């Protein structure tokens, strides 16, 4: 009721502009203007614009016995020499502006207030309301398009599907869009997922689509939700392998080394593996803004970290290689891979991991030469003293004779001063992140160490 009173206006207040009621407001506003004492002047200000003082020409005054000749003069019209009608028009401009601003809402106030005259404001309101009418047409078109394209999501429950469809229908009703019952029911039933097809057929056989509302169909179909869930589970078990999702994941998407470990169970996954995958996805969902930060003031030195997890594969007892390379504090490359050989000691596992890291370092050195950077004697940090000794001293034949020849190129790189092996404490070896699981505190420390932040 309050809105109706505001729309109609009062003796001391013009009518308020309501959404979608511009034609009625325009008529009421001009009628309200006519009731004012200076209604004619206000109407001119609004519809024609403010009164512009004219230039007045004072004719020649001829010479008389008592006064000399006064030549023709030009002067601008002022309030003092205006006619009463023009004066009323001139003085009503500010009042017209005030009345217009009083009769509009906050949603368009700032736009209208930017205009200089009452006439400009009046035209601005008309343009805005015409644009609103066009927007309403766009809304209706979009709603019809959404109705035609409406469909259920894969794995969506009937409650969720009904809720979205119900909101869409309510939105169409609010915008005065009508669709016949048959069309609504056909759209509601046909856009359900394949698992519902058998139950949709039962419903169609028992009820006429042009007589029953989709609310009734929802009440019937929700009773079959349990059977649909079972059908969906059987389809997933036969056709889908959830671990295949992990196989296609990029390294930077998953900080856990479990990703690479889970890949080997794609052929025969078990429930425990599915739980592990879900745990990874829960972590990813909880860290949507976690990313690598590259500070511009970091030094431009190439360095690398290498580590291994000895006999970590429970099935074939192979070790895991982990390595990461930095330009200053910027992480630019990383590896996490199960080794192709079975190491018979932690030293051999670390040696193979170091050789893999060295290969990546040499590739980066080669690439940077194209940009004029010659990185020599690149530091490779490792937490195993025996591995460093083997790299630097090839005399340890008894400890190295079982290592394949293809891994020994790291010795040649060390002799040519392309790399240098440096001992580091295990706690400072950030490559640990790629080979082992940790508690929350250690994990967060390693995440921060490689330059990952919530951006």
Q: Tens digit of pLDDT for each residue in 289-337?
A: 888 888 888 888 999 999 998 887 777 788 889 999 999 888 999 998 8
Domain ranges in the chain?
2-59+70-135, 150-236, 241-288, 289-454
Q: How confident is the model at residue 247, as a pLDDT?
A: 42
Average pLDDT over residues 231-244: 58
Residue 137 pLDDT more than 60?
Answer: no
| Average of per-residue pLDDT values in the chain | 80
Predicted TM-score of the model (pTM):
0.45
Average pLDDT over residues 336-363: 89
Q: How confident is the model at residue 383, as a pLDDT?
A: 92
Q: Which of 131-140, 194-203, 214-223, 394-403 has the lowest mean pLDDT?
A: 131-140
**Percent of the chain whose predicted confidence (pLDDT) is above 70:** 83
What confidence tier does 339 reach under pLDDT thresholds 50, 70, 90? confident
Give the domain 289-454 fold.
Nucleotidyltransferase; domain 5 (3.30.420)
Q: pLDDT: is 297 or 259 the higher one?
A: 297
Residue 428 pLDDT more than 70?
Answer: yes
Question: What's the half-sphere exposure (Cβ side, CA atoms, 13 Å) at 197?
Answer: 5
Average pLDDT over residues 76-103: 84
Residues 95-135 pLDDT 10s: 888 888 888 887 777 778 878 888 888 888 887 776 544 45
Q: pLDDT: is 245 or 138 the higher one?
A: 138
Q: How confident is the model at residue 397, as a pLDDT?
A: 55
Average pLDDT over residues 129-151: 68
């Amino acid at each position: 009721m309050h809105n109706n009173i505001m729309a109609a206006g009062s003796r001391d207040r013009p009518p308020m502009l309501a959404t979608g009621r511009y034609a009625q407001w325009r008529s009421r506003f001009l009628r309200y203007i006519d009731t004012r004492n200076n209604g004619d002047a206000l109407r001119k200000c609004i519809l024609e614009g403010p009164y512009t003082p004219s230039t007045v020409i004072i004719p020649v005054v001829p010479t008389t016995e008592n006064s000399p000749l006064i030549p023709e003069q030009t002067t601008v019209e002022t309030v003092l020499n205006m006619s009463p009608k023009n004066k009323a028009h001139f003085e009503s401009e500010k009042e017209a502006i005030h009345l217009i601003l009083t009769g509009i809402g906050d949603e368009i106030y700032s736009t209208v207030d930017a205009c200089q005259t009452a006439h400009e404001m009046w035209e601005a309101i008309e343009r805005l309301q015409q644009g609103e009418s066009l927007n309403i047409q766009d809304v209706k078109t979009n709603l019809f398009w959404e109705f035609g394209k409406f469909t259920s999501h894969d794995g969506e429950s009937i409650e969720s599907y009904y809720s979205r469809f119900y909101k869409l229908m309510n939105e169409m009703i609010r915008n005065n869009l009508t669709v016949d019952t048959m069309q609504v029911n056909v759209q509601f039933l046909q856009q359900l997922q394949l698992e519902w097809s058998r139950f949709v057929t039962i419903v169609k056989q028992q009820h006429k689509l042009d007589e029953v509302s989709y609310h009734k169909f929802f009440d019937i179909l929700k009773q079959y939700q349990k059977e649909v869930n079972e059908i969906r589970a059987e389809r997933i078990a036969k056709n889908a392998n959830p671990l295949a999702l992990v196989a296609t994941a990029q390294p930077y998407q998953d900080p856990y080394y479990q990703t690479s470990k889970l890949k080997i169970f794609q052929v025969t996954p078990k429930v425990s593996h599915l739980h592990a995958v879900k745990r990874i996805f829960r972590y990813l969902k909880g860290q949507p803004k976690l990313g690598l930060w590259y500070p511009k003031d970091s030094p431009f030195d190439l360095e690398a970290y290498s580590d291994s997890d000895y006999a970590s594969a429970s099935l074939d007892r192979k070790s895991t290689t982990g390595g990461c390379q930095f330009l200053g504090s910027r992480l630019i490359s990383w590896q996490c891979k199960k080794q192709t050989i079975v190491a018979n000691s932690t030293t051999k596992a670390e040696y193979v991991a170091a050789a893999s890291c060295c290969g990546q370092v040499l590739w980066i050195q080669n690439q940077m030469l194209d940009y004029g950077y010659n990185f020599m004697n690149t530091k490779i940090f490792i937490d195993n003293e025996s591995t460093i000794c083997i790299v630097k001293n090839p005399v340890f034949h008894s400890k190295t004779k079982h290592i394949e020849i293809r891994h020994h190129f790291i010795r040649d790189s060390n002799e040519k001063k392309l790399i240098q092996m440096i001992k580091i404490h295990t706690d400072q070896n950030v490559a640990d992140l790629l080979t082992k699981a940790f508690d929350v505190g250690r994990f967060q420390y390693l995440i921060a160490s490689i330059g990952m932040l919530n951006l």
